[in-house]
């Protein structure tokens, strides 16, 4: 029996999703996008899951779409399959941004094309010296998808996004960190252990508060100051009387670590 192309696991309140086609650099093939969507939807409503990690098996994060499958569709003069794929991709992206838990991309190796933009769609990205990014669409005459026009442009600005997308050059780990594509650059030795430690710290935080912070950050990227202030007002009133805020304030006064999370994950 063939191994699943995507693996899912929950341990110590961290849900881990592993793209599992290492022989193909975890290129997205067949129903992998639909499976990824289903796993994300399941994690979003699972009270055990307080943070999520997305990574790749083997030496790559994700090489993007399966180019051989693209060639077959071109030969058939058919874009209907592509249309269905991009609709599913849109649902995956909305799920990543809308689910209450923080989602961390553990970019363990090459992330190219749609694989790069999948990483950019996550809330945070951790990498090592093995991390490599490329907006490689232009190399095969295609435009970026997987939300790349939005995610990359917001991270690096219009001029740099155009350069990265129009040239399709590889971006090494240090440059990616400098540009803000990576939150942290970790040693390759023990990389996933450090990722799990980072995700565990997030999972130990107050779930409803983290969900509100996630919504607020994305709102703040696009909304007016008036809209942001209104959101802060509503969210702070709700947070103030929550179980987590009561526990946090009580723990502070008692000079002990807080024990968050008794009230669910905010979803």
Tens digits of per-residue pLDDT, 131-149?
A: 999 999 999 999 999 999 9
According to the model, what pLDDT value does residue 66 have? 79
Per the domain annotation, does 261 fall within a domain? no
Mean pLDDT of the residues in the chain: 94
Per the domain annotation, does 259 fall within a domain? no
Residue 16 sits in the same domain as residue 107: yes
- Domain stop point among 163, 178, 203: 203
Per the domain annotation, does 106 fall within a domain? yes
- Domain stop point among 203, 223, 239: 203
Does the pLDDT value for residue 188 go beyond 50?
Answer: yes
Residue 41 sits in the same domain as residue 101: yes
Does the pLDDT value for residue 180 go beyond 60?
Answer: yes
Residue 58 sits in the same domain as residue 92: yes
Task: List 107's β-bridge partners, or say none.
Answer: 127
Instruction: Give how many domains the chain has, as a whole number.
Output: 2
pTM beyond 0.85: the answer is yes
Tens digits of per-residue pLDDT, 44-93?
A: 999 999 999 999 999 999 999 877 777 777 777 777 778 889 999 999 99
Residue 220 sits in the same domain as residue 115: no
Residue 116 sits in the same domain as residue 229: no
Residue 135 sits in the same domain as residue 231: no
Q: What average pLDDT does this structure show over 8-14?
A: 97
Q: What average pLDDT does this structure show over 102-126?
A: 98
- Domain stop point among 179, 203, 227: 203
Residue 115 sits in the same domain as residue 172: yes
Task: List 14's β-bridge partners, or say none.
Answer: 11, 51
Per the domain annotation, does 79 fall within a domain? yes
> Any idea what the CATH number is for the domain that residue 59 is in?
3.90.226.10
Range of the domain at 174: 6-203
Residue 132 sits in the same domain as residue 232: no
Residue 234 sits in the same domain as residue 121: no
Residue 172 sits in the same domain as residue 128: yes
Residue 148 sits in the same domain as residue 25: yes
Residue 19 sits in the same domain as residue 57: yes
């Amino acid at each position: 029996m063939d191994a699943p192309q995507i693996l899912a696991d929950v341990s110590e309140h961290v849900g881990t999703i592993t793209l599992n086609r290492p022989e193909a650099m975890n290129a997205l093939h067949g129903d992998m996008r639909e499976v990824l969507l289903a796993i994300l939807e399941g994690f979003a409503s699972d009270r055990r899951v307080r943070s999520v990690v997305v990574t790749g098996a083997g030496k790559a994060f994700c090489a993007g779409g399966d180019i051989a499958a693209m060639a077959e569709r071109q030969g058939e003069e058919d874009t209907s399959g592509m249309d269905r794929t991009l609709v599913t991709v849109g649902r995956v992206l909305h799920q990543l941004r809308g689910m209450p838990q923080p989602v961390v991309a553990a970019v363990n190796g090459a992330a190219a094309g749609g694989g790069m933009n999948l990483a950019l769609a996550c809330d945070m990205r951790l990498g090592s010296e093995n991390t490599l990014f490329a907006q490689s669409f232009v190399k095969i005459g295609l435009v970026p998808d997987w939300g790349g026009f939005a995610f990359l442009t917001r991270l690096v600005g219009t001029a740099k996004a155009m350069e990265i997308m129009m040239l399709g050059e590889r971006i090494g780990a240090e440059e990616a960190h400098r540009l803000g594509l990576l939150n942290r650059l970790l040693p390759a030795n023990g990389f996933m252990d450090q990722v799990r430690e980072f995700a565990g710290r997030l999972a130990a935080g107050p779930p409803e508060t983290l969900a509100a912070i996630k919504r607020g950050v994305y709102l703040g990227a696009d909304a007016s100051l008036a809209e942001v202030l209104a959101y802060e007002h509503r969210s702070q009133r709700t947070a103030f009387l929550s179980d987590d805020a009561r526990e946090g304030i009580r723990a502070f006064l008692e000079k002990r670590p807080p024990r968050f999370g008794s009230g669910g994950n905010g979803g």
